[in-house]
Copies of this chain bind each other. A is one copy, B any other.
Amino acid sequence: MPIDPSAAIELTAFKWVPPFARGQVRDLRPRWAMEEQGLDYRLRLLDATRPCPEPYLLEQPWGQVPVLDDGGVTLFESGAILLHLAQKDERLLPADPQRRATATSWLFAAFNSIEPLMFELSTVSIFSRDAEWATLRKPSLMETLGGRLDRLADRLGDAGYLDGEFTVADIAMATVLRVAHRTALVPDRPRLAAYLARCEARPAFQRALADQLAEFDRNEPAAA
């Protein structure tokens, strides 16, 4: 069990979030990576309430989680944290130059070519769902995002993972695809659905997810 209060690596996470955000908060990504690697970490739990305390903004400019402190070296942005962790371990980032280049390309693809459309999906479907523009925008967004996921499914083909073997890019891509969990975008594409199921079936993912959810359960406010 990698969560260890005396571990050298510290990860920030939220103490509690509302149900719609559970299993989506981005500390899930480094938790998953460290489970794959068997790296111990301790948690620093933050209130998700706003406004974010000023001192934390010096650690994380947007007031989000996660921040990683690895023996005094600190990073923000889940992509940077994933890359930092993966560089410790060839199981997540292969040493072969082409395989490393491919994994890095897919890592950025998840964050810069798929997730931006997923952010827009969350805006339209959750945060601004009652706005007229959101209703009008949704069909064209679903078409654009669907087209990009078609390309992703084509490139994945029958491979088990983006680069054949599991790498850090799959942690990024699977957690990005999970954002669409209320839609048919992934289920409608059998190769993507099988890929996501394969990623989520990994024991390391299951442990990371269970640990994130357990914390929210533990800190559930008493009913009014």
Contact = CB atoms under 8 A, between A and B. Distances in A.
Contacts of A104: 75, 80, 83-84
The SS class assigned to the A binding surface is: helix
Nearest to A107: B80
B101 A61 contact: no
Interface in A77-132: 77-80, 83-84, 97-98, 101-102, 104-105, 107-109, 111-113, 115-116, 119-120, 128, 131-132
Interface stretch (A14-22, A36-44, A133-141, A216-224): A133-141
Contacts of A120: 116, 120
Interface stretch (A5-13, A148-156, A183-191): A148-156
Stoichiometry, as copies per complex, reads 2
Contacts of A140: 128, 131
Contacts of A73: 97-98, 101
Interface of A: 57-58, 61-62, 72-80, 83-84, 97-98, 101-102, 104-105, 107-109, 111-113, 115-116, 119-120, 128, 131-134, 136-137, 140, 148, 151-152, 154-155
10 contacts: A74-B98, A75-B102, A77-B105, A77-B108, A78-B112, A79-B108, A79-B112, A83-B83, A111-B112, A131-B137
